[in-house]
Protein backbone atom coordinates (compact mmCIF):
# COMPACT_ATOMS: atom_id res chain seq x y z
CA UNK A 1 0.00 0.00 0.00
CA UNK A 2 1.45 3.41 -0.95
CA UNK A 3 1.56 6.46 1.31
CA UNK A 4 -1.55 8.18 -0.09
CA UNK A 5 -3.79 5.13 0.23
CA UNK A 6 -2.63 4.56 3.79
CA UNK A 7 -3.24 8.22 4.63
CA UNK A 8 -6.75 8.14 3.16
CA UNK A 9 -7.72 5.02 5.04
CA UNK A 10 -6.29 6.35 8.25
CA UNK A 11 -7.97 9.73 8.06
CA UNK A 12 -11.32 8.26 7.05
CA UNK A 13 -11.32 5.56 9.70
CA UNK A 14 -10.29 7.97 12.44
CA UNK A 15 -13.06 10.37 11.48
CA UNK A 16 -15.64 7.60 11.47
CA UNK A 17 -14.47 6.38 14.83
CA UNK A 18 -14.68 9.84 16.30
CA UNK A 19 -18.05 10.63 14.77
CA UNK A 20 -19.56 7.29 15.63
CA UNK A 21 -21.46 6.74 12.32
CA UNK A 22 -20.69 9.51 9.82
CA UNK A 23 -19.34 8.60 6.38
CA UNK A 24 -17.62 11.94 6.02
CA UNK A 25 -13.88 12.30 6.36
CA UNK A 26 -14.38 15.48 8.34
CA UNK A 27 -14.86 15.39 12.11
CA UNK A 28 -18.52 15.25 13.06
CA UNK A 29 -20.14 16.21 16.34
CA UNK A 30 -20.03 13.43 18.89
CA UNK A 31 -23.09 11.35 19.48
CA UNK A 32 -25.47 12.26 22.25
CA UNK A 33 -23.96 9.47 24.34
CA UNK A 34 -20.61 11.29 24.41
CA UNK A 35 -19.94 13.52 27.40
CA UNK A 36 -18.56 17.06 26.94
CA UNK A 37 -15.16 15.84 28.19
CA UNK A 38 -15.10 12.98 25.67
CA UNK A 39 -16.14 15.30 22.84
CA UNK A 40 -13.32 17.69 23.72
CA UNK A 41 -10.78 14.87 23.88
CA UNK A 42 -11.98 13.51 20.49
CA UNK A 43 -11.62 16.92 18.89
CA UNK A 44 -8.11 17.39 20.30
CA UNK A 45 -7.12 13.89 19.14
CA UNK A 46 -8.37 14.66 15.59
CA UNK A 47 -6.31 17.87 15.48
CA UNK A 48 -3.16 16.10 16.68
CA UNK A 49 -3.72 13.33 14.14
CA UNK A 50 -4.12 15.75 11.22
CA UNK A 51 -1.00 17.68 12.25
CA UNK A 52 0.92 14.42 12.44
CA UNK A 53 -0.28 13.43 8.93
CA UNK A 54 0.92 16.77 7.55
CA UNK A 55 4.37 16.29 9.09
CA UNK A 56 4.47 12.70 7.82
CA UNK A 57 3.77 13.88 4.25
CA UNK A 58 6.74 16.26 4.57
CA UNK A 59 9.01 13.43 5.78
CA UNK A 60 9.40 15.01 9.23
CA UNK A 61 8.89 11.65 10.88
CA UNK A 62 10.40 12.48 14.29
CA UNK A 63 8.07 15.46 14.87
CA UNK A 64 5.13 13.60 13.35
CA UNK A 65 5.74 10.79 15.85
CA UNK A 66 5.31 13.24 18.73
CA UNK A 67 1.97 14.51 17.38
CA UNK A 68 0.66 11.02 16.63
CA UNK A 69 1.55 9.67 20.06
CA UNK A 70 -0.21 12.65 21.62
CA UNK A 71 -3.31 11.76 19.57
CA UNK A 72 -3.09 8.15 20.79
CA UNK A 73 -2.90 9.35 24.37
CA UNK A 74 -6.17 11.24 23.92
CA UNK A 75 -7.98 8.58 21.88
CA UNK A 76 -6.81 5.05 21.09
CA UNK A 77 -7.29 4.13 17.43
CA UNK A 78 -5.52 1.49 15.28
CA UNK A 79 -5.42 3.99 12.42
CA UNK A 80 -3.32 6.42 14.48
CA UNK A 81 -1.18 3.54 15.73
CA UNK A 82 -0.52 2.53 12.13
CA UNK A 83 1.16 5.87 11.47
CA UNK A 84 3.11 5.64 14.73
CA UNK A 85 4.53 2.34 13.48
CA UNK A 86 5.35 3.85 10.09
CA UNK A 87 7.21 6.78 11.69
CA UNK A 88 9.25 4.39 13.84
CA UNK A 89 10.02 2.31 10.78
CA UNK A 90 11.28 5.30 8.83
CA UNK A 91 13.45 6.52 11.74
CA UNK A 92 15.20 3.15 12.03
CA UNK A 93 13.55 1.84 15.22
CA UNK A 94 12.68 -1.50 13.70
CA UNK A 95 11.80 -3.44 16.85
CA UNK A 96 9.51 -0.66 18.16
CA UNK A 97 7.89 -0.33 14.72
CA UNK A 98 7.25 -4.07 14.65
CA UNK A 99 5.53 -3.91 18.06
CA UNK A 100 3.25 -1.00 17.01
CA UNK A 101 2.39 -2.52 13.64
CA UNK A 102 1.62 -5.88 15.22
CA UNK A 103 -0.72 -4.22 17.70
CA UNK A 104 -2.28 -2.21 14.87
CA UNK A 105 -2.98 -5.39 12.92
CA UNK A 106 -4.52 -7.15 15.92
CA UNK A 107 -6.79 -4.23 16.86
CA UNK A 108 -7.84 -3.40 13.28
CA UNK A 109 -8.51 -7.07 12.49
CA UNK A 110 -10.89 -7.37 15.44
CA UNK A 111 -12.67 -4.08 14.66
CA UNK A 112 -12.94 -4.91 10.96
CA UNK A 113 -15.19 -7.85 11.78
CA UNK A 114 -18.01 -5.37 12.49
CA UNK A 115 -16.70 -2.15 10.89
CA UNK A 116 -15.24 -2.24 7.35
CA UNK A 117 -13.62 1.16 7.89
CA UNK A 118 -10.70 -0.61 9.63
CA UNK A 119 -10.00 -3.06 6.80
CA UNK A 120 -7.49 -0.74 5.10
CA UNK A 121 -5.54 -0.23 8.37
CA UNK A 122 -5.51 -4.00 8.94
CA UNK A 123 -4.20 -4.74 5.46
CA UNK A 124 -1.63 -1.94 5.54
CA UNK A 125 -0.23 -3.16 8.86
CA UNK A 126 -0.07 -6.74 7.56
CA UNK A 127 1.85 -5.68 4.46
CA UNK A 128 4.36 -3.60 6.46
CA UNK A 129 4.92 -6.47 8.89
CA UNK A 130 5.65 -8.85 6.03
CA UNK A 131 8.30 -6.48 4.64
CA UNK A 132 9.77 -5.79 8.09
CA UNK A 133 10.19 -9.36 9.31
CA UNK A 134 13.36 -10.16 7.28
CA UNK A 135 15.05 -7.01 8.57
CA UNK A 136 14.73 -8.00 12.24
CA UNK A 137 16.85 -10.25 14.40
CA UNK A 138 15.11 -12.64 16.76
CA UNK A 139 16.09 -14.09 20.11
CA UNK A 140 14.53 -16.98 21.99
CA UNK A 141 15.17 -16.82 25.74
CA UNK A 142 14.78 -20.06 27.69
CA UNK A 143 15.12 -20.88 31.38
CA UNK A 144 15.11 -24.65 31.97
CA UNK A 145 15.14 -24.29 35.78
CA UNK A 146 12.74 -21.52 36.79
CA UNK A 147 13.58 -19.55 39.94
CA UNK A 148 11.06 -17.73 42.11
CA UNK A 149 11.26 -13.95 41.91
CA UNK A 150 13.45 -13.89 38.80
CA UNK A 151 13.60 -10.67 36.77
CA UNK A 152 14.61 -11.00 33.10
CA UNK A 153 15.43 -8.27 30.61
CA UNK A 154 16.55 -8.13 26.99
CA UNK A 155 18.15 -4.80 26.05
CA UNK A 156 16.53 -3.37 29.21
CA UNK A 157 13.09 -4.55 28.04
CA UNK A 158 11.37 -6.60 30.74
CA UNK A 159 10.49 -10.12 29.67
CA UNK A 160 7.57 -11.80 31.38
CA UNK A 161 7.62 -15.53 32.04
CA UNK A 162 5.03 -16.03 29.30
CA UNK A 163 7.46 -14.47 26.79
CA UNK A 164 10.10 -17.16 27.35
CA UNK A 165 10.54 -19.80 24.67
CA UNK A 166 9.09 -17.78 21.78
CA UNK A 167 10.96 -15.66 19.17
CA UNK A 168 11.20 -12.01 20.19
CA UNK A 169 12.10 -9.40 17.58
CA UNK A 170 14.89 -6.86 18.14
CA UNK A 171 17.00 -4.58 16.01
CA UNK A 172 20.00 -6.37 14.52
CA UNK A 173 23.16 -5.93 16.60
CA UNK A 174 24.23 -6.66 20.16
CA UNK A 175 21.45 -7.72 22.52
CA UNK A 176 22.10 -8.22 26.23
CA UNK A 177 19.98 -10.64 28.24
CA UNK A 178 20.10 -10.38 32.04
CA UNK A 179 18.44 -12.34 34.83
CA UNK A 180 18.57 -11.81 38.57
CA UNK A 181 16.86 -13.33 41.59
CA UNK A 182 17.33 -13.10 45.38
CA UNK A 183 20.08 -15.44 46.56
CA UNK A 184 21.54 -15.93 43.06
CA UNK A 185 24.39 -14.40 41.08
CA UNK A 186 23.32 -12.19 38.18
CA UNK A 187 23.20 -13.81 34.75
CA UNK A 188 24.35 -11.64 31.84
CA UNK A 189 24.97 -12.65 28.23
CA UNK A 190 25.34 -10.51 25.11
CA UNK A 191 24.57 -12.03 21.71
CA UNK A 192 24.91 -10.56 18.23
CA UNK A 193 21.56 -10.66 16.43
CA UNK A 194 21.61 -10.98 12.65
CA UNK A 195 18.77 -9.88 10.39
CA UNK A 196 16.33 -12.65 9.50
CA UNK A 197 17.94 -15.15 11.90
CA UNK A 198 17.14 -16.49 15.35
CA UNK A 199 19.54 -16.76 18.31
CA UNK A 200 18.88 -18.72 21.49
CA UNK A 201 19.91 -17.73 25.02
CA UNK A 202 19.73 -20.26 27.88
CA UNK A 203 19.51 -18.72 31.35
CA UNK A 204 21.23 -20.64 34.14
CA UNK A 205 21.33 -19.02 37.56
CA UNK A 206 23.99 -20.00 40.11
CA UNK A 207 23.49 -19.55 43.82
CA UNK A 208 25.38 -16.73 45.49
CA UNK A 209 27.82 -18.31 48.00
CA UNK A 210 27.65 -15.16 50.12
CA UNK A 211 23.86 -14.92 50.17
CA UNK A 212 23.51 -16.66 53.55
CA UNK A 213 26.50 -15.01 55.22
CA UNK A 214 25.60 -12.66 58.00
CA UNK A 215 27.84 -9.71 58.78
CA UNK A 216 29.56 -9.86 62.14
CA UNK A 217 28.71 -7.43 64.90
CA UNK A 218 30.11 -3.98 64.49
CA UNK A 219 32.65 -3.29 67.24
CA UNK A 220 31.68 -0.50 69.60
CA UNK A 221 34.42 2.05 70.01
CA UNK A 222 34.26 4.41 72.95
CA UNK A 223 35.99 7.70 72.22
CA UNK A 224 37.07 9.60 75.34
CA UNK A 225 36.16 13.23 75.41
CA UNK A 226 37.97 16.21 76.77
CA UNK A 227 36.37 18.46 79.39
CA UNK A 228 35.30 20.72 76.52
CA UNK A 229 33.28 17.87 75.05
CA UNK A 230 35.50 17.41 71.98
CA UNK A 231 36.73 13.87 71.21
CA UNK A 232 40.28 13.10 72.26
CA UNK A 233 42.76 11.16 70.16
CA UNK A 234 42.85 7.46 70.95
CA UNK A 235 46.26 5.79 70.59
CA UNK A 236 46.19 2.07 69.74
CA UNK A 237 47.61 -0.18 72.41
CA UNK A 238 49.58 -2.31 69.98
CA UNK A 239 53.29 -1.52 69.57
CA UNK A 240 52.95 1.60 71.70
CA UNK A 241 55.84 3.23 73.52
CA UNK A 242 55.51 5.94 76.13
CA UNK A 243 58.25 8.40 77.09
CA UNK A 244 57.96 9.90 80.58
CA UNK A 245 60.08 11.95 82.97
CA UNK A 246 62.57 14.81 82.61
CA UNK A 247 65.92 16.12 83.77
CA UNK A 248 65.62 14.76 87.32
CA UNK A 249 66.59 11.30 86.13
CA UNK A 250 69.74 12.65 84.45
CA UNK A 251 70.65 14.44 87.67
CA UNK A 252 70.02 11.17 89.51
CA UNK A 253 72.69 9.46 87.42
CA UNK A 254 75.14 12.26 88.27
CA UNK A 255 74.38 12.07 92.00
CA UNK A 256 74.59 8.27 91.89
CA UNK A 257 77.95 8.48 90.14
CA UNK A 258 79.24 10.83 92.86
CA UNK A 259 77.98 8.39 95.46
CA UNK A 260 79.83 5.51 93.81
CA UNK A 261 82.96 7.69 93.58
CA UNK A 262 82.70 8.45 97.30
CA UNK A 263 82.39 4.73 98.06
CA UNK A 264 85.48 4.17 95.92
CA UNK A 265 87.29 6.89 97.91
CA UNK A 266 86.27 5.14 101.13
CA UNK A 267 87.88 1.95 99.87
CA UNK A 268 91.12 3.69 98.88
CA UNK A 269 91.42 5.80 102.06
CA UNK A 270 90.49 2.87 104.24
CA UNK A 271 93.15 0.77 102.57
CA UNK A 272 95.74 3.54 103.08
CA UNK A 273 94.79 3.91 106.77
CA UNK A 274 95.05 0.15 107.21
CA UNK A 275 98.51 0.08 105.63
CA UNK A 276 99.72 2.93 107.86
CA UNK A 277 98.34 1.09 110.91
CA UNK A 278 100.23 -2.05 109.92
CA UNK A 279 103.48 -0.08 109.52
CA UNK A 280 103.17 1.51 112.97
CA UNK A 281 102.40 -1.84 114.62
CA UNK A 282 105.40 -3.44 112.94
CA UNK A 283 107.74 -0.59 113.95
CA UNK A 284 106.62 -0.41 117.58
CA UNK A 285 106.36 -4.17 118.06
CA UNK A 286 103.11 -3.63 119.91
CA UNK A 287 102.44 -0.37 121.78
CA UNK A 288 104.74 2.53 120.92
CA UNK A 289 106.86 3.75 123.94
CA UNK A 290 107.94 7.10 122.48
CA UNK A 291 106.51 9.79 120.21
CA UNK A 292 108.65 8.96 117.21
CA UNK A 293 105.70 7.57 115.30
CA UNK A 294 103.11 10.21 116.30
CA UNK A 295 103.04 11.74 112.81
CA UNK A 296 102.38 8.34 111.21
CA UNK A 297 99.64 7.63 113.75
CA UNK A 298 97.97 10.99 113.09
CA UNK A 299 98.22 10.48 109.35
CA UNK A 300 96.58 7.06 109.65
CA UNK A 301 93.84 8.48 111.87
CA UNK A 302 93.18 11.24 109.27
CA UNK A 303 92.91 8.73 106.48
CA UNK A 304 90.55 6.65 108.57
CA UNK A 305 88.37 9.69 109.24
CA UNK A 306 88.29 10.61 105.57
CA UNK A 307 87.44 7.02 104.68
CA UNK A 308 84.48 7.08 107.07
CA UNK A 309 83.27 10.39 105.69
CA UNK A 310 83.55 9.03 102.13
CA UNK A 311 81.61 5.93 103.15
CA UNK A 312 78.76 7.98 104.60
CA UNK A 313 78.69 10.38 101.68
CA UNK A 314 78.83 7.53 99.18
CA UNK A 315 75.94 5.68 100.76
CA UNK A 316 73.82 8.83 101.00
CA UNK A 317 74.51 10.05 97.48
CA UNK A 318 73.94 6.59 96.02
CA UNK A 319 70.56 6.27 97.71
CA UNK A 320 69.53 9.76 96.57
CA UNK A 321 70.62 8.99 93.00
CA UNK A 322 68.67 5.76 92.97
CA UNK A 323 65.50 7.53 94.05
CA UNK A 324 65.96 10.29 91.47
CA UNK A 325 66.52 7.76 88.67
CA UNK A 326 63.54 5.65 89.72
CA UNK A 327 60.99 8.45 89.85
CA UNK A 328 62.49 11.24 87.78
CA UNK A 329 62.51 9.84 84.19
CA UNK A 330 62.64 10.18 81.25
CA UNK A 331 62.29 6.52 80.35
CA UNK A 332 60.72 4.62 77.46
CA UNK A 333 58.22 1.99 78.51
CA UNK A 334 56.68 -0.53 76.10
CA UNK A 335 52.88 -0.62 76.40
CA UNK A 336 51.67 -3.66 78.27
CA UNK A 337 54.77 -3.83 80.48
CA UNK A 338 55.42 -2.05 83.74
CA UNK A 339 58.75 -0.33 84.25
CA UNK A 340 60.29 -1.43 87.55
CA UNK A 341 63.57 -0.50 89.15
CA UNK A 342 65.57 -3.15 90.97
CA UNK A 343 68.29 -1.86 93.31
CA UNK A 344 70.62 -4.10 95.31
CA UNK A 345 73.59 -3.11 97.51
CA UNK A 346 76.81 -5.07 96.97
CA UNK A 347 79.99 -5.63 99.03
CA UNK A 348 83.32 -7.02 97.81
CA UNK A 349 85.16 -8.46 100.85
CA UNK A 350 88.36 -9.20 98.89
CA UNK A 351 88.75 -5.57 97.84
CA UNK A 352 87.06 -3.96 100.84
CA UNK A 353 84.53 -2.09 98.62
CA UNK A 354 80.76 -1.61 98.80
CA UNK A 355 78.28 -0.19 96.28
CA UNK A 356 74.73 -0.17 94.90
CA UNK A 357 73.66 -1.84 91.64
CA UNK A 358 70.38 -2.42 89.84
CA UNK A 359 68.29 -2.20 86.67
CA UNK A 360 65.88 0.58 85.81
Residue 137 pairs in a beta bridge with 170
**Residue 38's pLDDT is what?**
86
Cα angle for residues 125, 126, 129 (degrees, 5° grid): 85
pLDDT tops 70 at residue 165: yes
Average pLDDT over residues 221-244: 54
Average pLDDT over residues 296-317: 77
Average pLDDT over residues 118-123: 94
Q: What is the pLDDT of residues 129-145, one digit of tens each?
A: 999 999 999 999 999 99
Q: What is the pLDDT of residues 177-211, one digit of tens each?
A: 999 999 999 999 999 999 999 999 999 999 999 98
The structure's pTM equals 0.49
pLDDT tops 60 at residue 333: no
Cα angle for residues 42, 48, 53 (degrees, 5° grid): 125
Residues in the chain: 360
Kindly report the CATH number that applies to the domain delimited by 3-134.
Answer: 1.25.40
Dihedral of alpha carbons 106, 110, 113, 114, sign: negative
Whole-number Å distance between alpha carbons of 27 and 46 = 7
* H-helix or E-strand spanning residue 142: strand 137-142
Considering the domain 137-202, what is its CATH architecture?
A: Sandwich (2.60)
**Residue 39's pLDDT is what?**
87
Q: What is the pLDDT of residues 246-284, one digit of tens each?
A: 577 677 677 677 777 877 777 777 777 777 677 766 677
- Specify burial of residue 43 (Cβ count, 10 A radius: 0-12, 13-18, 19+): middle
Residue-averaged pLDDT of the chain: 77
pLDDT tops 80 at residue 127: yes
Average pLDDT over residues 155-179: 93
Decide which of 341 and 321 is more confident.
321
Q: What is the pLDDT of residues 38-83, one digit of tens each?
A: 889 999 999 999 999 999 999 999 999 999 999 999 998 999 999 9
Return phi, psi of residue 350, to 5°.
-70, -30
Amino acid sequence: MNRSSVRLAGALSLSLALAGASASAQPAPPTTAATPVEATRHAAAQQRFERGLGLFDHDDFATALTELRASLELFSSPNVRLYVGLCLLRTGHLAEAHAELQRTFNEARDLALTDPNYVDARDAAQQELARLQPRLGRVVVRMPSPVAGVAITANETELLTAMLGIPLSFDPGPTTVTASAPGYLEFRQTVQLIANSTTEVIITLRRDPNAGARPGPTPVVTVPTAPSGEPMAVVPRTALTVTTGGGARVAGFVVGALGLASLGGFAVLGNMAGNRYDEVVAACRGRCQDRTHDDAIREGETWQLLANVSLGAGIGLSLIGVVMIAVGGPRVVEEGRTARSRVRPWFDASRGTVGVGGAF
